[in-house]
Structure 1
Amino acid sequence: MRYAPRVSALLQRGQVLALVGPPARRRLPGVRAITQPNHPPRSRASALRRFLTGQAAGGAVLIAAALLALLLANSPLGPGYAALLHGDVGPLTLEAWINDALMAVFFLLVGLEIKRETLHGQLASWSRRLLPGIAAAGGMAAPALLYLAINRGGATQGWAIPAATDIAFALGVIALLGERVPASLRVFLAALAIIDDLGAVVIIALFYTGALALPYLVAAGAVLVVLTLLNRAGVTRLTPYLLLGVLLWWLVLRSGVHATLAGVMLAFTIPAQDGREGSPLCRLEHRLHAPVAFVILPLFALANAAVPVLGLPAGALAAPVTLGVAAGLLLGKVAGVFGFAALAVRLRWAELPAHAGWLQLLGVALLCGIGFTMSIFITLLAFAGAPLLQAEAKLGVLTGSLLSGAAGYLLLRVAARETDH
């Protein structure tokens, strides 16, 4: 017992005792080996919880930035604000730096999340991918078809605008409900939104790429090969990847492919190392969450949600583009997500998320109609050089997203009340 005071003093100072095996007995021969409690490494579930929390907080900041942009655009400061965004800052305008450069960092984070979830997370097996994958497919197809039906013979190039889901906004709304929503539904929504983001990336690459400059495209391909070789060689320092990533972004910008896709390309070359917390992929993803959520996306909202509603023609709210986008988000999304998910469950291809009911699934499907970031981004590509169509599409995005978010929130509250009873 003569070592008890020493042990007690160490514990009071908050020091951890690792007294295991012969070395410990040699240091304190009168004290038996003390085994530290087995603290399991942070699970993937806890990593997902941290991810959801960050996205929810970012969603609140994004909402505030979008509202501020709307207020500025419809105030006496509107013309000066527009001039600021379109002013040159070096080789690009301020708006272009935000949309082409900063958003490449956002797409880098999206790519990292897609890679992590596909290799080691909620999308790591086909059984896990099935329900959110089927729901995401329906949630992209139905809004696009509804938009085309409303705009047949008109501005059909905007068909992909309502096909996207904004994960930050959607998770921000669901976070307001707290424990009223089962954790399985949060995971389902996150997985669906990640698959949806992947679909949006593919759509941008295939349908919204301009004339290609072959020399720059070949050079970008060569940089991508070098990045892949670094991965294969086991290089785990992030610096070489990020430096080559900047070069890749510049080459892709000059090639005619949208520059933001360089972020996704870079993400797929970052080593994942079996999903370990200390892997380069996890380290970079962790470092990017805060700047993306609290700086880049709010700046994107400030630059692109500034719709001068008061300056639009009287019939702008009833214009085919506005109606097509708003209806696609509010009606098409819920029909596609809920309809395809229900069909998969009825055919026994998949099961409902644990502890979730049909009404709750319908509420989550409504939240998928919040399409802010990706929808506005695709708007800029679909209607490049057409400011009126851009304004109408943005008005549709804002209207459809607001109605979808409000309806989803209210329905999930009602569903939670019914579950309690």
Structure 2
Amino acid sequence: MNFQHSEKVKDLLTRVASFMKEHVYPNETSYYHFVHHPDNLWQEWPGMEALKEKAREAGLWNLFLPHEYGAFSPGLTNLEYAPLAELMGRVPWSPQVFNCSAPDTGNMEVLAKYGSPEQQERWLKPLLDGKIRSAYVMTEPQVASSDATNLETSIQLDGDGYVINGRKWWISNAAHPDCKVYIVMGKTHFDAPRHAQHSQIIVPADTPGISKVRAMPVFSSMNSPGGEWELRFDNVRVPKENLILGEGRGFEIAQGRLGPGRIHHAMRSIGQAQRALEHMARRAENRVAFGKKLSDQSSIRQDVARSFCEVEMARLLTLKAADSMDRFGNKIARDLIAAIKVVAPQMAQTVADRAIQVHGASGVSDDFPMAYYFTLNRYLRIADGPDEVHMSQLGKLKIAEYVAQGDD
């Protein structure tokens, strides 16, 4: 793996960093106060569209989409995108400014990779243009959805369309004012082999029969406007042509979607950990207690040093995973993707916790970003599959690999 960024990536890094400094960081307070005001629940921050237009004009748009998607993509590899995603991740809402935010990124990849030309024309193009947003509707309340074979929502063929019935929850973006389309996973064949029962289908968000049951706060925050909801589908009918790829191919689509999504989360987590580390170092140098700087305390220096080591280790693992995805594909790289999905959020949570401690009471306030980083990364240890599932699968994979190698 080449540790030197290409000239193209160096240029993009400079431009993204400048954009963040000029347009994003100065708006953090404005964004925070707007989205947390009860009168603005489920409304978009008014400055978002203007920043998106500036990012598009600057050529900093859709940077996430891998190079293999041709005309849809700006041509970056996963390895090239990683440091850019890290920069964007320093402010958790800023990826939306560059049209690089979840769950839209995963849904755009699904439509780019598996969608029909008609599906791409109707849904992918406006998503790529940043004109609409989307939701990925997978998790269910009745079953342990970390094992996706448990999903029970039915997608049944009926004449010239499919009828959807079931309950879903923890659906990000479901109530966002610009969310116009859902990609729903459910069962089309209840008696088929375990991994051939499910399909994925496009459902316009305004289709009759969809009910927003309740908002689902995370750590007492609604995370408006893109926060999580429970939904109910009661005889929701959509045309047959809304099915993606074909019946029984839901798991194939899910695996194609979740690998890139997991590593994108890791990239952003590293950006948050890096920023928390920088805040911790500056606070330690500028704060005096009991007659000397915090930075003169050996325990504080150790926290800074340990955090630096952990951020660098996670960053290198992320880059290795991204490089493996580029060279060999997501399936071959699944061990590294699983590893970084476990490592990065836990690392970012730990570094944020140390930074909070160095800041004292202000660390748990919203004057600094560390408290948000802490809760966000704690949540990410469950999102896209809990740590235990990834560890179990990774352990199984590595045992089989090493046993097959035989003894030395």
Fold similarity call, TM over 0.5: no
State the structure with bigger RCO (CA 8 A, min sep 6), 1 or 2: 1
- Of the two, which has the highest radius of gyration? 1
Structure 1 length normalisation: TM-score? 0.27
Higher strand proportion: 2
Specify which structure has the higher proportion of helix: 1
Give the TM-score taking structure 2 as reference length: 0.27
